Structure 1
């Protein structure tokens, strides 16, 4: 088990020596560097207080793609879809996708139309929650297919973002596998949060390979080298390159298997603000481009 883990998740912080840099270059050869994206939930307080100023800072850091979410002000932060698009474009960024509130059923088609109108690519379900019976996830798959058809009608795609609970057995099955098997691949994609895949003991490379083309988006955050105790209320997340995930290898494998969009989403901040963390993560990803 330890050898397998070392093979899969050797440290992302490889730039300390020329040999490590050469290894990193070899991994990245033949792959384009993905655009820098960020999930705005990471800077929710900053966006709530000053959306314009926050977007300006994110653009200056080098982010070019945004993923929004169903904030108290909606996915367009109190603006119209076109107003938000114009504001983001002024700082060199584009709104690619948004997590939506799955409970707001009556608003979904309107949201899909508004998203498509400004060239967004995805609406994403971010949460179903832990459940006691696997049939819940089978019904959820049907709902995803329905929403996927609505999105397709408007010219965009639908996806699901699994957290930790879809990797925990329910009635002897993993919900993530049930959702993959029972959703129409022509209508529903998936957004891997590599942090949860790893911390739940699953192999992100196997999921990418075995379900090639199903995972089209990815959330990026690292996992501490020394994990917090099992059952801790604190997450073991850390900035990119500070933990156990080999991001050059992961991003290359992800692109090989169909992932198109990558979003930084840090959830724990150690002696730094969310914006400082966003800047640090952007710098790490830009540093990979220079190898």
Structure 2
């Protein structure tokens, strides 16, 4: 009888430990359980030399979701074949402003061939500071581009902020103006977190302010000590591995999940991608709540 009691108490203790351990694991669930995607610009120099080998390199990192902003000398069909052969996909197709506006049908056809759901523009051509008149033209063009891509191809058009749009305007910025004046049926946004922090903005506040407008996100980090501005430019060496810079990634990822971001892409413009990209992937996998 004594041995049975001891056994029973031991069983209770083991059960309690398992319950507590389970609660601990739940309390520390992964903040970013999915695999990130990759922006082709990160591997631009490698893609220029050998597209197939570069895709193999990215796939070896466990990444299968791509955002291409260049076809690297291939047709959309040729690039799609290389992706399909590797079990990879292109979810977003980045193009320049002029092509989006003047070659919308060609852009739409290429995006559909690639299998993309999104078409993205990352820069509005301008000289000097970004102005209200520039923002007004941008709004008109984006509404036109977005409607055509949605109606004709079922694609979602996104604008990727680059920092210069945060010029002060009324009680906010010209970026606010663009978000508020574009038609949400046809125009969505991709948040580049470096180009949000660099001009002095708060990504969490923007995600909370416009929770249904952001669909995509570029995951980047900005070197500690770098002071930003509204130029939309900084040396590529200021791109550092995720978690080693000045950006509060955990807070942004929590807000992004709440806002319904659909695709997250690592973008590292630095010459140190061989070491920094694996570092960034490992950092994301370690994040817990």
Bin of the TM-score, shorter chain as denominator length: 0.7 to 0.9
Greater RCO, 1 or 2 (C-alpha within 8 Å, sep 6+): 1
Partner of 1:60: 60
Instruction: Kindly indicate whether the alpha-carbon contact (under 8 Å) linking 2:32 and 2:287 is maintained by their aligned counterparts in 1.
Output: no
Q: Return the alpha-carbon distance in structure 2 between the equivalents of residues 24 and 188 of structure 1.
A: 40
Partner residue in 2 for 1:186: 185
Q: Give the corresponding residue for 1:202.
A: 201
- Cα distance between partner residues in 1 of 2:98 and 2:164: 19
Partner of 1:214: 213
Q: 1:132 to 1:263 in 2, by over 3 A?
A: closer
TM alignment of 1:109-188, pairs within 5 A: 109-128=105-124, 129=126, 131-153=129-151, 154-169=153-168, 174-188=173-187
1:179-237 CA deviation, whole Å, 9 max, x = no partner?
10110011100011111211222111111011111011111111223225879953633
Note if contact 1:194-1:220 (Cα within 8 Å) is conserved in structure 2.
Answer: yes
TM-superposed deviation, 1:275: 3.4
Conserved in 2, the CA contact under 8 Å of 1:151 and 1:158? yes
Q: Residue 118 of structure 1: CA displacement?
A: 3.8
Distance 1:62 1:98 in 2: 21
Query: Which has the larger displacement, 53-62 or 171-180?
Result: 171-180
Calculate the aligned-residue CA RMSD, in Å: 2.8
Give the SS at the match of 1:241.
Answer: coil
**CA displacement 1:80-128 (0-9 Å, x = unmatched):** 3232122123333211112202123432212212212442111111101
Q: Which residue of 2 aligns with 1:44?
A: 44
If the length of structure 2 is used for normalisation, what is the TM-score?
Answer: 0.80
Q: How far did residue 262 of structure 1 move?
A: 0.7
CA change 1:94–1:123 in 2 (3 A) is same
Larger Rg: 2
Deviates more, 1:130-139 or 1:34-43: 130-139
Structure 1 residues without counterparts, runs of 5 or longer: 1-21, 70-74
> In the alignment, what sits opposite 1:99?
94
Give the match for residue 225 of structure 2: 226
Spell out the pairing of 1:242-257 with structure 2 (5 A cutoff): 242-257=244-259
Question: Any idea what SS the aligned residue of 1:141 has?
Answer: helix
Counterpart CA distance in 2 for 1:137 and 1:108 is 20
- Give per-residue Cα distances to partners, 1:142-188, cap 9 Å, x unaligned: 11111111111201110101111011236886221111011001110
Structure 2: gaps (5+ residues): 1-22
Work out the CA distance in 1 between the residues paired with 2:25 and 2:103: 45
Residue matched to 2:6:
none
Partner of 1:11: none
**In structure 2, how many angstroms separate the alpha carbons of the residues matched to 1:45 and 1:114?**
22
Decide which of 72, 84, 89 is 2:84's aligned counterpart: 89
Q: If the length of structure 1 is used for normalisation, what is the TM-score?
A: 0.79
Greater fraction helix: 2
SS in 2 for 1:96: strand
Return the alpha-carbon distance in structure 2 between the equivalents of residues 62 and 108 of structure 1. Answer: 33
User: For the Cα contact (< 8 Å) 1:223–1:243, is it kept in 2?
Assistant: yes
